[in-house]
A = this chain, B = another copy of it.
Amino acid sequence: MRMLINVAETVVADALRGMAAAHPELTVDVENRVIVRRDAPVAGKVGLISGGGSGHEPLHGGFVGPGMLSAACPGEVFTSPVPDQMLRAAAAVDSGAGVLFVVKNYTGDVLNFDMAAELAEDEGIQVAKVLVNDDVAVLDSLFTAGRRGTGATLFVEKIAGAAADEGMPLARVEAIARQVNESSRSFGVALSSVTTPAKGSPTFDLPSGELELGIGIHGEPGRERRAMMTAREIADFSVQAVLEDLEPRNPVLVLVNGMGATPLLELYGYHAEVRRVLDERGVTVARTLVGNYVTSLDMAGASVTLCQVDEELLRLWDAPVSTPGLRWGM
């Protein structure tokens, strides 16, 4: 175990204590595991709430703040948060304008957010939900029926967050979130396994010199395993997989996302190859983000997410945002 932790049992609570101390601009309820914008509830504003297993930081807690999420609910590592967390989050951020749950498509998350929606509605909070399922690697997976939700979550949270901050009504914020998800596709590769604190040894066996094409963000199997490929070859394969499922007529947002242990130096080099393929395929790039945003603990590897944007989505993407993990314009 090469982990900077106390004991596996307290990893999430310890991280929340550390977040609370580092970010006085957020309200971090360590005991109940809810991270909330300090200014919530904002009168007339739709509340945007997400959550999921921990281990993907800065997603989701690092995306709470003006211009993005109103609240986030972190579960145990790679484990769905419970409905009580989401209900607390909804109660904390609802101003009467309702809340939108952004749910990555994993069975536990879907069930628990469904239950939380029922509970919140019983308390008179209007709830809408959007499912994120952008990963084209496989249909059905270890924890998923249908496609998995990965990098597009960042696009959904940013763009719907801007829409909510502009005061758009719940139905409109929901429609925009759905449009972003439907306009996004992802494909990821792993160069190493991930090790969770609870298990303390690699989740799967990936010998050095091999890679897994189409990896999930919890180490779920992808499409195939191969002998190590160059960044150029991986970009060819990954972007092709994405473009088979999404033929952009409009410009795209590009996310080249590190899985956690791959150095930024390599991510930029990988981005050069991703951009080359997009140029070759005639895809116009509107904006680019390179870094570690939707991670898988200490996994080495990277994913590519494209999101096709019209003028409104691009304007909302460019809108100011101020969160620990994503910040510009304020």
Q: Mark A residues whose CB is within 8 Å of B.
A: 1-7, 10-12, 14-19, 21-23, 54-55, 57-58, 62, 77, 189, 191-192, 208-209, 228, 230-232, 234, 256, 260-273, 275, 285, 288-290, 292, 295, 297-298, 300-302, 322, 327-330
B-chain residues with CB within 8 Å of residue A77 when the two chains form the complex: 265
Contact partner, A269, options B5, B191, B290, Cβ 8 Å = B5
Cβ of B322 and Cβ of A230 under 8 Å apart?
Answer: no
Cβ of B269 and Cβ of A4 under 8 Å apart?
Answer: yes
What would 5 more interface pairs be, CB under 8 Å, given A4-B231, A5-B269, A261-B261?
A2-B191, A15-B269, A22-B289, A57-B263, A261-B300
B-chain residues with CB within 8 Å of residue A191 when the two chains form the complex: 2-4
Kindly provide the distance from the CB of A277 to the nearest chain B CB, expressed in whole angstroms. 12
Q: Which of A191, A290, A300 has the most CB of B within 10 A?
A: A290
Cβ of A18 and Cβ of B270 under 8 Å apart?
Answer: yes
Cβ of A329 and Cβ of B330 under 8 Å apart?
Answer: yes
Cβ of A271 and Cβ of B22 under 8 Å apart?
Answer: yes
Kindly provide the distance from the CB of A110 to the nearest chain B CB, expressed in whole angstroms. 23
B-chain residues with CB within 8 Å of residue A15 when the two chains form the complex: 265-266, 268-269, 272
Closest B residue to A74 by beta carbon equals B265
Cβ of A269 and Cβ of B11 under 8 Å apart?
Answer: yes
B-chain residues with CB within 8 Å of residue A17 when the two chains form the complex: 269, 272
Kindly provide the distance from the CB of A274 to the nearest chain B CB, expressed in whole angstroms. 8
Cβ of B231 and Cβ of A264 under 8 Å apart?
Answer: no
How far is B54's CA from A234's CA once the two chains are assembled, in angstroms? 23
Contact partner, A275, options B6, B21, B290, B297, Cβ 8 Å = B21
B-chain residues with CB within 8 Å of residue A209 when the two chains form the complex: 1
Cβ of A14 and Cβ of B231 under 8 Å apart?
Answer: yes
B-chain residues with CB within 8 Å of residue A269 when the two chains form the complex: 4-6, 10-11, 14-15, 17-18
Cβ of B271 and Cβ of A21 under 8 Å apart?
Answer: yes
- What 8 pairs across the A-B complex have the smallest Cβ distances? A14-B269, A18-B268, A18-B272, A18-B271, A57-B264, A17-B272, A261-B261, A15-B268
Knowing A18-B290, A231-B14, A290-B18 touch, does A57 contact B268 (C-beta < 8 A)?
A: yes
How far is B21's CA from A285's CA once the two chains are assembled, in angstroms? 10
Cβ of A192 and Cβ of B4 under 8 Å apart?
Answer: no
Kindly provide the distance from the CB of A301 to the nearest chain B CB, expressed in whole angstroms. 7
Closest B residue to A285 by beta carbon equals B21
Q: Which of A189, A262, A264 has the most CB of B within 10 A?
A: A264
Kindly provide the distance from the CB of A224 to the nearest chain B CB, expressed in whole angstroms. 17
Closest B residue to A22 by beta carbon equals B288
